[in-house]
A and B are shown apart, each in its own frame.
Chain A
Amino acid sequence: MQPNQDKVQRGAPPATVPFYNDPKKRAILFQIVTLLMVGLLAFYLISNTLTNLEKQSIATGLGFLQKESAFEIGESPIPYSAADTYGRALVVGFLNTLIVSSVGIIITIILGTLLGIARLSTNWLVSKLAAVYIEVLQDIPVLLQLFFWYAFFYNILPSPRSALNPIVGVFLSNRGLVFAVPEAHPVYKYMAIAVVVAGVVIYFLRRWAKQRQARTGQIFPALRVSLALVIGFPLLTWAIGGAPTAMNVPVLKGFNFIGGTNISPEFTALLLGLILYTAAFVAEVVRAGIQSVSKGQTEAAMSLGLKSAQVLNQVILPQALRVIIPPLTSQMLNLTKNSSLAVAIGYPDFVSVAGTTINQTGQAIEGVALMMVVYLTLSLLTSAFMNWYNKKTALVER
């Protein structure tokens, strides 16, 4: 049989079919046309914006980042003054956003997990309390909660001159929580290193303990030893370094406390509002995850003689994590994005600083673009990390 005949018999299109009737070529053509149109639209919007900006003589470009900002920022993890540039001001805002969202995420996950477990508790009171918490906090808009906590702090707490002083060196006033910190000393740097070293040691210790348990069945008290290491290493370093005890104690001078470290009411209100709100959602995610694990798993684990804490930690949670992680990721992103509500209660986050920058320079397009880039980057990084972790915990099918 000749190959040509074979083709015809199979009903393949003859070579003379025009390209617009060939579904494959047509699909490619349509994609090119779509791409062209999207490109044209983008070009049109951008060029139109640029001409209009020029017509109205509005400045463009990112040159403003090098200019002196001339405004102060309430709190900053790095040294900053009004003499620094807009660029540095924006970095300060970015770091403030990063701090409040990372601290917020960690505490939210812990609180949310506890609440989710409490929601499933067999204890009637605990379970109902958790249910009420979840229902109430989920249903109140987070902005209102932020206003509530902020007003709570500045209305309830006294002025600095009559600050509460519960323990020596700690002052609580409507300017925030001020507390004594150790005077700067080189040994503290080494203590930080000691903590890292302890972490590495614990990692290997746990691996060894797991292998030993698999080999011999003996259980190593890993938690207690780890705790001892984390506390012991830095403490030892401190003792060797001469055990400095000088403290930087805050003193009331003029209007405010000088010295020590200050946690502002804005930061606390924002953190508290975000945590309490998001934890309610995380609790539901955790509850759903735990309930997705079949009851037989619990019964099997118990009949093996595991204690109820072990059942939860070793059997239920690892399986529940597979269900929990994807929705948990979106809650973490929500928390990061909601932190931009800081502007309403005066915490200098990225949106707040960028907003001021836009207003002082008039370059709204560049400023908004920067905000988009920052939040997109933060969200993508969080997603990337969580996807990696999700893959790690996902069921490995063999």
Chain B
Amino acid sequence: MKRLTIVFAILAVFALIGSASAGTLDDVKAKGFIQAGVNGDLFGFGKPDEKGVWRGLDVDTARAVAAAVFGDADKVKYTPLTAKTRFTALQSGEIDVLTRNCTQTLSRDTALGLDFVQVNYYDGQGFLIPKKLGVTSAKELDGASVCVLPGTTTELNVADYFRSNGMKMKPVVIENTAELAKAFFAGRCDCLTSDASQLAGTRAIASNPKDYMILPEIISKEPLAPAVRHGDNQWKDIVNFSVLAMINAEELGITSKNVDEMLKSKDPKIMRFLGVTEGNGKALGLDEKFAYNIVKQVGNYGEVFERNVGVNTPLGIERGLNALWTDGGLMYSPPFK
């Protein structure tokens, strides 16, 4: 009889798990931190530095969400994910938000049970190649061995690109980003294909970065966006507006340095944005100071970009598409009102 009781207890627990589907915001508040899925190996986007502190554009995006929810950007725990495990981790509830340089596509948005929010980096796929091969264009790559990460949009794009140009390729597919880079630097493949930002990150860790070049062709659009589980609209709004808050702050000229002075501003847009005029926080179910906390603790988008991937970092990436719309880029925030 004792055994029977145990079995029924287990069944009851299963039933409880099934019915426990409170909103992600409540779950996150209950446990006191945000579990973010990040890359783990990608310099400039998500990788711990030599002291073990997580750094990168995607890491800062997750920190912005934590700043919005808890008023403390440090309340994030990171789960390093490979390209193949990232969506399953989000689907299964292992992580609360996926900030891991993921390309937003129609099929991912529909079939994978997830929702993408505001793009935090506009990217495109390119090729990294050793200069000594003497190749100057991707059109000369017929017959090349190509190193590529499995389960990525780049894996599909490169197959499409070679097919549409009537060229042949041999993919070398290794799941671990670091192992793939090692194989590429050792000459196992002729070129490495990935998003241009990742190629810059990979080149930055080469023993001699000057020996490698990124070919001029950009063969795809890769809008990299954070993702959340499908069906939790409140949580999606929070993550979405956390990213947008960084962009809006840059538009309004608010930085982590001047944000305290800006609290005194009489500009109604700034007053609304920083929560001096109340309303935005309540609408999202957050503290009225959520945007202030993001800017104060993480910075505006321009600061985050320059700190992690900008021209003064080893990656040396120009703003390009990621500049504000007023500077000819694509970063544009809807009004915070």
> Which residues of A are interface residues toward B (Cβ below 8 A)?
37, 40-41, 44-45, 48, 52-53, 55-59, 70-74, 81-83, 147, 150-151, 154-155, 159, 174-175, 253-256, 258, 265-266, 343-346, 348, 352, 355-356, 358-364
Contact of A346 among B112, B160, B183 (CB under 8 A): B183
* A81 CA / B160 CA spacing, docked (Å): 11
Contact A71 B145 (CB under 8 A): no
* B150 part of interface (Cβ distance < 8 Å): yes
* A55 CA / B229 CA spacing, docked (Å): 11
Q: Could you name 17 residue pairs across A and B whose Cβ atoms are closer than 8 Å?
A: A41-B11, A56-B231, A58-B111, A58-B113, A72-B158, A72-B162, A72-B171, A74-B173, A82-B156, A83-B163, A154-B186, A155-B186, A256-B143, A344-B175, A358-B88, A359-B83, A362-B91
Contact B143 A255 (CB under 8 A): yes
Contact B156 A151 (CB under 8 A): no
How does the 8 Å CB contact mask read for B137-181 relative to A, with 1 for contact and 0 for none? 000011111000011100110111011000001111111100100
* B206 part of interface (Cβ distance < 8 Å): no
Given contacts A37-B7, A356-B84, contact A70 B159 (CB under 8 A): yes
How does the 8 Å CB contact mask read for B181-219 relative to A, with 1 for contact and 0 for none? 011001110100000000000000000000000000000
Contact B144 A255 (CB under 8 A): yes
Given contacts A56-B230, A344-B175, contact A258 B143 (CB under 8 A): yes
* A352 CA / B170 CA spacing, docked (Å): 16
Contact A362 B186 (CB under 8 A): no
Q: A53-B113, A56-B230, A363-B111 are in contact. List 18 more A-B contacts (CB 8 A).
A: A41-B11, A55-B231, A56-B91, A57-B230, A72-B155, A82-B159, A154-B186, A174-B187, A255-B190, A256-B143, A343-B150, A344-B174, A345-B174, A352-B150, A359-B151, A360-B151, A362-B107, A364-B91
Contacts of B108 in A (CB 8 A): 362
Contact A57 B110 (CB under 8 A): yes
B307, chain A: closest CB distance, angstroms: 31
Q: Which residue of A lies closest to B14 (CB)?
A: A44
Contacts of B229 in A (CB 8 A): 56
* A361 CA / B110 CA spacing, docked (Å): 10
* B334 part of interface (Cβ distance < 8 Å): no
* B18 part of interface (Cβ distance < 8 Å): yes
A153, chain B: closest CB distance, angstroms: 8
